[in-house]
Structure formats: C-alpha cells, structure tokens
Amino acid sequence: MNIVSIRGAITVVENKKEEILKSTKELLIEIEKKNNLHKDNVICILFSSTKDLNAEYPAKAARLLGYNQCGLMCFNEMYVLDNLKKCIRLMLLYQSDFLEQKDVSHVYLKGAKILRPDLST
C-alpha cells in the first residue's frame, strides 16, 4: 500500500465562517474528484490559513463533508511579507493500492493558482 501526499490551496473572499467553510469544502471536493479519493483511506489532513482568516477552523468543513475517521489539524501559515492574503492551504495524506505520488493531482483554486503556476487546474 502506498502513502501519498496531496496538496491544495484556495483563497477566501471574506473572513467569515460561511466563506471559510464554503471554500474549504470546494477545495476538498475538487481534490476528491481529481484523485478519485475514498474518505476511508485518508490518514490525515493538515490545514493552514493566513493570519487574516480566523473566523472558523477549515477542519470543520472536512468534518461536515464526512471526514470523521482521520486526523485533522489547523495551523497558522508562516507570515511572509507580501504573501498571498486570505489563503487556506492543505496537505492530505492518503493510503492507496493504486495511486502513486507521481500520479497525484494537486489542486490550487481561485487566487491560490499563483502559488503553483506549473499546475493546470
């Protein structure tokens, strides 16, 4: 069985609970689709958000989507001058007999696309 890491990020329009939950759900659903994931095989999801997002934990969106058997944790993103604002990032660890690291589709949405210009998402 392989363990792969899947990365993703999305920006949020406003620092509001509903916006953070909606955007985090959008990101997770797109990662699920692009990688054909099964929730039971998710080991953990680590979330970070920029310091201007503090109205809600992104992990709450994962629980609302049914990620109830894996570890979830939220962190503040390291502050870097002139960094991308209102951004949620994640790293998902996944176990699979079929998916290999070279075949993973990382997902960067909305303003977060600038973080990975090498990807076409």
Is 57 labeled as catalytic in the residue annotation? no
30 part of the active site: no
Q: Is 74 a catalytic residue?
A: yes
56 is known as an active-site residue: no
Options 19, 26, 70, 74, the catalytic residue: 74
Q: 89 a known binding residue? A: yes
Asked if residue 94 belongs to a known ligand binding site, the reply is no
63 is catalytic: yes
Tell me if residue 60 falls in helix, strand or coil.
helix
User: Is 79 marked within a binding site?
Assistant: no
Closest CA to 67 of 20, 97, 29: 29
Catalytic annotation present for 77: yes
Rounded to an integer, what distance in angstroms lies between the CA atom of residue 25 and that of residue 62? Answer: 7
Residues with Cβ within 8 Å of 44's Cβ and at least 6 positions away in sequence, in order, are 70, 71, 72, 73, 92, 93
Q: Which of 7, 26, 32, 70 is catalytic?
A: 7
Catalogue the active-site residues: 7, 63, 74, 77, 89, 108, 116
